[in-house]
């Protein structure tokens, strides 16, 4: 299904061939990536658990995002709130409006399920542009603190600033 098209940016459902393209592009960026993550997203989409989106920029796969209707993760787990998961724009396509368009569509899909959406964002510098974007879009911390390996990290607890150290944010969709 196509959700958006303006001649430069196209947002559509993820298909099998996208998994390999995204994996190869992220490896070329220096990321430690495997195709299994994207194959899992495709399986979740096929089972109706989520909507997996891909953005193309001038015909090239450029970004992706997933919307889970009722996620089992984080402070809003199993409360009927949709979660935006695994959002990314390939570095060579950034600053072309792709991320904003993906988030617009993801939030629109989330609004079909609830008046609130949430997401988790990593805390290291690799997530800096996403952190800024979420704040600009009106996302606020949920107040539960920092999470590490899918649970609240207790005060003064040792943890590692890796991809598992995240802060959950939510946004009212009005």
| Domain CATH code at residue 33 | 3.40.630.30
pTM of the model: 0.93
Alpha helices in the chain (DSSP H): 16-28, 36-46, 98-110, 128-136
pLDDT of residue 157: 93
pLDDT of residue 33: 87
Angle, nearest 10°, between helix axes 98-110 and 128-136?
A: 60
- For residue 78, the enclosing domain spans 2-172
pLDDT of residue 174: 78
How many domains, in total, are found in the chain?
A: 1
For the range 159-164, what are the long-range contacts, defined as Cβ-Cβ under 8 Å and sequence gap of 24 or more? 161/123, 161/124, 162/124, 163/122, 163/124
pLDDT of residue 135: 96
pLDDT by residue for the chain (174 residues), tens only, comes to 999 999 999 999 999 999 999 999 999 998 888 999 999 999 999 999 999 999 999 999 999 999 999 888 899 998 999 999 999 999 999 999 999 999 999 999 999 999 999 999 999 998 998 999 999 999 999 999 999 999 999 999 999 999 999 999 999 997
Instruction: State whether residue 152 is helix, strand or coil.
Output: strand
* Cα 142 to Cα 122: distance, rounded to the nearest angstrom: 14
* Cα 143 to Cα 49: distance, rounded to the nearest angstrom: 27
Q: CB of 136 within 8 A of CB of 126?
A: no
């Amino acid at each position: 299904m196509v959700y958006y098209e303006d001649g430069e940016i196209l947002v559509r459902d993820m298909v099998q061939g996208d998994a390999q393209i995204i994996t190869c592009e992220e490896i070329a960026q220096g990321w430690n990536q495997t195709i299994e993550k994207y194959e899992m997203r495709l399986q979740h989409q096929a089972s109706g658990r989520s909507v997996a989106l891909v953005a193309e920029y001038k015909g090239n796969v450029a970004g992706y995002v997933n919307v889970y209707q009722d996620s089992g993760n984080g402070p809003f787990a199993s409360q009927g709130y949709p979660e935006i998961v695994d959002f990314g724009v390939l570095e060579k396509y950034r600053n072309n409006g792709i991320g904003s368009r993906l988030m617009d569509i993801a939030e629109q899909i989330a609004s079909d399920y609830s008046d609130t959406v949430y997401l988790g964002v990593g805390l290291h510098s690799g997530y800096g542009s996403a952190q800024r974007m979420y704040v600009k879009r009106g996302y606020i911390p949920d107040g539960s603190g920092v999470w590490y390996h899918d649970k609240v990290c207790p005060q003064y607890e040792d943890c590692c600033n890796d991809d598992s150290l995240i802060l959950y944010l939510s946004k009212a969709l009005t």
